[in-house]
Amino acid sequence: MILLPPSDAIIVVYMWQAAPGYQLPPGAVVSADLKLRDLVLLDDAILKRKLNFNKRFNQLRDVKRAIAVSVTQVYSWVWAGLQF
C-alpha cells in the first residue's frame, strides 16, 4: 500500500521552492544543451517506435493474406461443390 503525504506538506514544499531567495542545489541545475539533447533523443525514440509499428503492421497484413490464400486453396474443392 502506498501512503501519500498530506496535501498541506506538498503545498509547503512548493511554497518553499517558490520563495524569491530559493536556489537549486548544484547537482539539480540542468543546462539548455542537456534538455535539447534529451528532446532529440526522445524524438528519435518516438520515430523508431512508429517505424517499428508500421513494419510489424505490414508483416501481420502479409501473414493474413498468406493465410487467406492458403485457406482458399485448401478448401477450394468444398466451395466448388457448393451451389448458391
Question: Mind listing the pLDDT tens digit of every residue in the chain (84 residues)?
Answer: 666 666 666 665 665 777 787 777 777 778 889 999 999 999 999 999 999 999 999 999 999 999 999 988 888 777 666 665
78 falls within a domain: yes
Helical spans, DSSP H, in the chain: 7-17, 32-74, 76-81
20 falls within a domain: no
DSSP 19: S
12 falls within a domain: no
Q: How would you label 64-76 residue by residue, b for 16+ Cβ within 10 Å and e otherwise? A: eeeeeeeeeeeee
> Domain span at residue 54?
30-84
19 falls within a domain: no
51 falls within a domain: yes
Q: How far is CA 83 from the centre of its chain?
A: 50
21 falls within a domain: no
13 falls within a domain: no
